[in-house]
Each structure stands twice: as structure tokens, then as C-alpha cells.
Structure 1
């Protein structure tokens, strides 16, 4: 649950059924803004059209304020013992009515979920589906945790005796979708890994009472994440927290093996069916439709302000590589560039459905034995030492944008052979809108490497 779980969508307020205020708030995932419509009406008769209606705002874009991840107590200088003392309540034995009043003052009841009602764990308070050999800490009797098979998704139920219920607190490091999610009951915070600074300690609070702190290190060459997770329960803004639970303390978790072929977010997606359905519901402008399309297909989560032009007319591969001297015009809305080192192919793909261009790329770093590839911020990195040569490799962004490539090493020379194809597919059960061959059995040269390199970290 976020602000929009309570406030977004269609809402209406009436005063004596005469004065009516309608509003709609749309929360854009891609743009850092809300789309707001506000309509006011005066209606003197129930079964006739309103006498007067006007728009104060109509699909007006309003910027989002920076989100505060550490929302403090709703009651200033809150202290549980002071709260019970002022009401002559036994702090160790709150009645149902006392609890309701406390939940109301703390403003937490609307966030309650049922995640911990039927939790089952082993006697040691851990239920682990992770097959890796790791050492998990002993948890207090009030805490039960579940480690999922990805090994980077931890969900805990923490019993808080004074509040007479258990609360769900979790962290999910989704390496395959490049997303980090932390949550307390229904309150969620999602962050793309591309915007998280590795090793940064961060905290997420539910109104000061429930807190989850986390830290993630990316051990790239070991193919692991190093995780730390701390849960806290605090009943006072003036005193230390009453429960401090170390769930993970610098525990190394193997990275999950990923299938980089993201499927369609909407099953059996059809662009034309989706468009008809949206327009039947509301008279959207073209720009509004694009905003909804980018959000609902979830591709907006991975889009960035790239160097690609919004539009271009010449669909070509420009090359500074002497190995690639003659390139035919490309058979689709793609412009690509092959650098002078012959080691990377960087493309801009224009899509008329969303009226913008996306960056699609492959970069071969033969000096560090690494290959990088991706679509916008949906990127992967793989060691060439364990790369499957000659196999076709695929990266799909939301099922819609697809990168296919093959790479063959020629051990007897200083070259690679590469084939590369880009597709745009807005229909799940139909042919792709475009299938564009960028390279087909072309030669790329390996870089000349300086093998007298210093340590990665100076002064080590």
C-alpha cells in the first residue's frame, strides 16, 4: 500500500447531494508525477442533469513530492507508557476498545494485512527454502521468518505483545527483475536496483513503530549479494526500541540464475484490444493512452533518459570499426553505432506506439572477460569465461522489446563472429511488429588489452 492505494482512482464527495466534487488521481510509474482531474457540479434535482459543471483540473500533471521513508509517530513525542498513564489504562492488559483507540492514534490499522495469521515455521523459527549452505541467526521467540528459494526474499512475522498482534515485515531482492522491495504489512517501497547505491544503509518505517533497516553489497565477481536486515519495534519517540531483531548480518547469498526473457505483464496481451478497452472506459488523449500503456505493461520501470533521439529517419548502422565496412539499410526503425574498438553495438529503436526511442546494446569487454547487454535499464552482465558460445541469447523487456544475439569466439584469431536481431512485439499471439536484423555473421575484433593493470581498489 502506498499513498495511492488510499487516494488514487475515482472519488466523489457530496454536500446535501447538491454540491458535488469528483476527482481522479492517476499515479504514473514512469513519470515522477500524478495525473489529476477535478470536477465541480451543482445539481438541484436528483434525476436530471446537473445545473452547472466545470473542470478545475483536467488531466493536469502534478509533480510527486520526494517520499519520506521514515515516517515518524503521528502523535508528536509519543510514548506508549505515557499514553496509557494519561488514560488510566493498564499497559500490560489493553482491552479491545483500548487497542482500537491506540491503533487510531498511531494511524496503523489501515495498513494491517493477514499475512501472519496462518504462518507456519519450524521450531527454530526459520523456514528456509534456500538450498545454499548458509548460517542463519537464532531468532527470538517472538519472531518467525521464511527464506524463499531465491535466497534473497525474506519475510518475517514479528509478534508485538503490547499491540496484541503479529506484523509482517519483508525484503525481496529480485535480481532477475532488477528490483528491491521492502514492506511492512501493506505498506511497500519499491526501488529499481539501478538507482540503489550498493552498500548504502537504508531504513523504512511504518509511522515510527515498525522499522526495517537493510544493506546490500553487490559482490559481482563472486556472483553473490551480501545482505544485512534488522527489524525494530519502537513504542516511544523518546526511548530505545523495545524489540531489535537481527535477521541477517552480512550473510552472503548466491545470485539467482535468471531467465532474461521477461513475459508480458498482461497475459495474452494485444495492443489493439487493450486500446479499445481503455477508450471504451474513458476518452483519453493520445498522450494519456501512452502513459497508461507504459505503466500497465511495466516497461516504464526500466526506461531512462537515454541519449537516443525521440525520432529519426535514417535506419542505418554507423560504424567506426574497420571490420564492418559495408552495411545495408536496416529494415526497421533502428539506428545503431559500432565503435572504433569494434567491441560494442549500441542501438536506438523507435516505437510509434509510445512515440519514443529505446536503447538496446551489447558490449564485449574482452580485457575483463565480461559481456554486457540490455534494453534500457533492464541489463545483464555475464562472464565470458562461462559464456555459452554459439547459443542464441535473448533479453526481453516486458515481452514487447526483444534482443536476440549469437556470439562465436574464433580462438585462432583475435576476432568474434556476431549476429544480432531486435524485435518489437505488441501482440502475444501474433507476429512481431518488427524483426530487424542488425548484424548477421559479422566480425568484431577483440580489444588490445593492457595486462599491466593496477588493483581494482587503489591502495589495497
Structure 2
């Protein structure tokens, strides 16, 4: 609320533009200018307020005063367990008072609007209602549309409600049909273990809870003015990386009678926490394999039995990420492989290095996809690792067993080492350098198995699989059945220093683009594009480039002849590769460095 004398204005914070300069002016004489910022993580609002009185429209105000400047004011605590705004509200009594049957199952439209405003609910409702027959709620089984790939036990829902379990597995969004109001209601409950937050909402009313100081196991309630309830209990199991959640959804119209809708959304449901970063260390920061063996009464040089191996995986918290069938059982026999490699790539490549006998790898037909099987002998277990670049989809994917990650190539830092760990036990480290002019990737890959959490302890297995190896890029086939195609023409008007371009984008569902769902959009029609002037006196592409510093970063001597892979990296970084001739000139021992004739 903001006011000047008798003028008072109320603003809903549901639509408020935080941080924007706002004004209240009374005919230009009395003026209040203010900004309000919401610092939700600190639970404060920041106010800046200036008041002025002006009698000259073109001159400085006679009076101007800064009331608040970036003042941090604590937010009042909100009671989300409040019941109806109307004391002892009863829908039956309300309907009787306005002359309607108290047992009616569907109210007239105008009465619905009046009721929602009477209960102070209307301002919180979404303009676009959820639809149970559309994504993400359909298709459904037992009321559930499941995006989470894990096997979870979910209670069946009644016919009023459809819910979607999100692909990150710790979030639920539901759509409930409230027949008497002739509308659906959206509710959600999302746990974010990486940022330690719980996001909960009913239509437009939302709340964020910090899990760092949250009391797990406590019964909590979140209500939209008594009409819609979310009741929940969260318990956390750190070692198994699970939340156990009970979540109930209710729609109520009576203060002293049972709710008309009551849905058990989650009942003792264990929701797996997602991996928050690629380099996930041991859950137990003091874990020691030696101590594990001692506690089990096992000798250090003994290969673990299947029972003890599974016991170890449970203790490390990685059982859920292990594949059902070990990779070595599905690999081709070692004798049929060349140096421990199976190469399906049809493009010529340099000779692959020899793998140790406990490592086998495969390069797939795409040429930029690699998977390896690493046998950790004394653990009695093999582990699958894979990494692939999809240049046509602009995506990087990698994984260790069932733990997978993906990243768009637009966000990838070429030439920088990246690590991915399966909770400290199995690790991969890789570097990709994009040699775009040579149409290749330069690839380094090492894998390791580490049994001690202490950083001073060496890993049990360390294998350098590839070092500065060149992987050929495949050509992208853009002529797919479903495609976004482009047609263009480009004309070069050299004397005028311009190009003239025509460009049309087409969305096609068949080869001919003739189907009813296909369409084309002209983007450019005879548009003149000025040619960029070429400045051949520009300095280095890399600002303040120094060969000495570059050599130091690569751990190589500046005076020595560079290996071919470093030459490719250097020329790519300096942007010179495109300008070099395929056939190099040669220096011969001619008289005083000169040779007569036309050829060199």
C-alpha cells in the first residue's frame, strides 16, 4: 500500500515488478518515487523512497527529501496454515443464504466468481487452467505421468487428479478438477537438493523453503486461504541420497466438515536426489577401502565376492547407478580386438594406442562416440564409461555406468580438462579441442578407480586411454524426414561492395514439404547486406598473445619443435589454419637463398 493524504493505492505483489522505479504523483505537486527489491534468499525487501513537492513544472522542486535509501527491511513471517478468511465458513450455509441448494454440484458462473472473491481466492488463480488431457499430465497410468526414469512406487490417484513426476525425480505437479467451481487447480511440490530449496505452490501463490535449516520429519501445511491444502512430511536419508515424502492434497469448503477432495499424492515415497555436479566425491569423506576390508575381516589381496562387492557399493552409495549387466559380459572377447579396441568408424584414423588387458574400448560408427569397459580386478566388478560429442545436435554426453550428464556445446569450454566422478570411486578426465578448420577433434581421456577418500593416497587404477588423439568429425545430414530447411540465394555485387540475399525457412514433415502441417516463412527478400571490410593490419586474434606463455601452459619448451597436435592447437587458436595452403613450400639449399626460374 502507498498513499498521499487521502489517496491510498493497494498493489498485489503477485504481479509486482521488483526493482522497477515506481511513482505516485498527485497532479505533479505531491510526488513519491520508490523502488522495492525482493531479496528472497535473505528474507528481506530493500526500499528506496524519495518524496518531493513541486510548484514549478519546468524548475527544480521546492522540496525534495530522501526518506529511505536501500534500506533493508525484514519480511514479516507468513502463516501458510491459515484457514478461511471468513470465520467458520461453510459453503452449505453460504449457498442457502443466497437462495441456492446447499447440495448443488455445480455453481452458476457468476456465483463462482462471487464466491472466489468473497473468499479472497480470485487474485491467486491462474488465468490459464491446467488441462488433464494434455502434457504434462497425459498420457497417464493410475493418474500418473512419469518423467522420472527411476523405478518408484507411486500411489494410484483418484479420478479428480492427475500428476506429473518430473524428470529430475524430486518434483511433482498436479492438476485437480474441482467440479463445483467448474475449473481445475494447479499445485506443485519441488525439492532441489543442489540448491537446498523446496518450492511449493498452489496456483499463483508460491513459497520457497530453505532446506539448510529445515527440520526434516516435521509435519508442514501450505494452504490457499483454507480452500486448497498441501500437507507434507519430508525425511532425508543422506547416505542413500533419498528423500522420503508424504504429500496430501485437499480441497475444502467447510470449516468443520471433511474436505470434498482428498488425494494421497505421495505415501512414504522415496525420491532419489539428482547428482548436483559432475565431480561427485565420496559421500563419506573419511572412507577407506582398507578399513572396509578390516571391518569385514577380509585380506587386502583378495578379490571381493559378489556379496561383498554389493556390500561395498551400498556403502559407497552407488548401487542405484550400476548397470544390471556388467559391461565385460557384453564385450567381444579380448582376443578378437586389436590392442583392446573395436573401431566402427569408417573414416580413416591414425593407429589407436594399446590398452592394458583390463580395459577394452569401442569407437562407434559416428566416430565421435567412445565407450570403454574397465575391469577393477580386486573389486570383482567392471565399470562402463562413455563419452560422445554430437556435433550435428551440438551436444556433449558422458556417463559412468547409469550416471549420465549432458551439456550443449555452446556452453562447453574447448581445450579445458573436465572431470566426472562416480562418487569418488570411478573417475574420468578428458579434454576436447575443436580443430574446426581441420574438421577434427583433439581428444585426451584418462580413467581411474580410487579406493581411498584421502587425497594423499594414490588411486588403485590409472589409465591414459587417449592422448592428443584426432577424432574425425562426421558430416551432418540435414535432409531428415522432419526438418527445418532453408532455401537461400546470394549474389555478390563487387563494385557496390554488397551482397543481395534471399532466405526462406521451411518446416517440413516429408520430403516434398507438401503436407498440410508443413509451412514456409520468407525471412529475407532481395535484402542488401554490406560487405565487412577486411583489415589485414589487425593484431593477434588472441589479445596480448605470447608464445612463451602458451608454451608454458602446454608444458613444452618454446625453443623445441612442436608436436603436430600442438601445432594444430596453436594455429587453430590464432585463427590461421583456414589460410594455410595444403601443400607447404620447401626451402632448398640454393645459392644465397635464391633459385632462378618460375617454380619454387
The TM-score range, normalised by the shorter chain, is 0.5 to 0.7
Does the 8 Å CA contact 2:425/2:451 hold for their aligned counterparts? no
Post-superposition shift, 1:176?
3.0
Q: Tell me which residue corresponds to 2:166.
A: 148
CA distance in structure 1 between the partners assigned to 2:219 and 2:45 by the alignment: 29
In the alignment, structure 1 residue 137 sits paired with structure 2 residue 176: no
Q: Tell me which residue corresponds to 1:366.
A: 287
- Which of 166, 183, 196 is the aligned partner of 1:165? 183
In the alignment, structure 1 residue 383 sits paired with structure 2 residue 383: no
Post-superposition shift, 1:136?
2.1
In the alignment, structure 1 residue 200 sits paired with structure 2 residue 218: yes
SS in 1 for 2:285: strand
In the alignment, structure 1 residue 19 sits paired with structure 2 residue 33: no
In the alignment, structure 1 residue 102 sits paired with structure 2 residue 85: no
Q: 1:129 to 1:101 in 2, by over 3 A?
A: same
SS in 1 for 2:236: strand
- Which of 194, 200, 219 is the aligned partner of 1:176? 194
- Which of 77, 89, 92 is the aligned partner of 1:66? 77
Q: Deviations over 1:247-273 (max 9, x none)?
A: 1100123332333589xxxxxxxxxxx
In the alignment, structure 1 residue 35 sits paired with structure 2 residue 49: no
Q: 1:206 to 1:7 in 2, by over 3 A?
A: farther
SS in 2 for 1:416: coil
Q: 1:86 to 1:15 in 2, by over 3 A?
A: farther
Does the 8 Å CA contact 2:143/2:159 hold for their aligned counterparts? yes
Q: 1:36 to 1:100 in 2, by over 3 A?
A: same
Q: Deviations over 1:260-319 (max 9, x none)?
A: 589xxxxxxxxxxxxxxxxxxxxxxxxxxxxxxxxxxxxxxxxxxxxxxxxxxxxxxxxx
CA distance in structure 2 between the partners assigned to 1:23 and 1:122 by the alignment: 48
Q: 1:15 to 1:190 in 2, by over 3 A?
A: same
RMSD over aligned Cα atoms: 3.9
Does the 8 Å CA contact 2:241/2:317 hold for their aligned counterparts? no
Does the 8 Å CA contact 1:176/1:260 hold for their aligned counterparts? no
SS in 2 for 1:364: coil
Post-superposition shift, 1:189?
1.4
CA distance in structure 2 between the partners assigned to 1:261 and 1:389 by the alignment: 10
- Work out which structure has the larger RCO, using CA pairs closer than 8 Å and 6 or more positions apart in sequence: 1
CA distance in structure 2 between the partners assigned to 1:246 and 1:88 by the alignment: 35
Does the 8 Å CA contact 1:228/1:251 hold for their aligned counterparts? yes
Q: Tell me which residue corresponds to 2:138.
A: 121
- TM-score normalised according to structure 2 size: 0.44
Q: 1:3 to 1:414 in 2, by over 3 A?
A: closer
CA distance in structure 1 between the partners assigned to 2:222 and 2:178 by the alignment: 18
Q: Deviations over 1:210-254 (max 9, x none)?
A: 111122222233332212110011112232322111011001233
Post-superposition shift, 1:416?
2.0
Describe how 1:206-217 pairs up with structure 2 within 5 A.
206-217=224-235
Q: Which runs of 5 or more structure 1 residues have no equivalent in the other structure?
A: 263-361, 371-381, 394-405, 419-428, 431-460
Does the 8 Å CA contact 1:130/1:151 hold for their aligned counterparts? yes
Does the 8 Å CA contact 2:44/2:74 hold for their aligned counterparts? yes
Q: Deviations over 1:9-28 (max 9, x none)?
A: 44333445543333322111
Q: Tell me which residue corresponds to 1:237.
A: 255
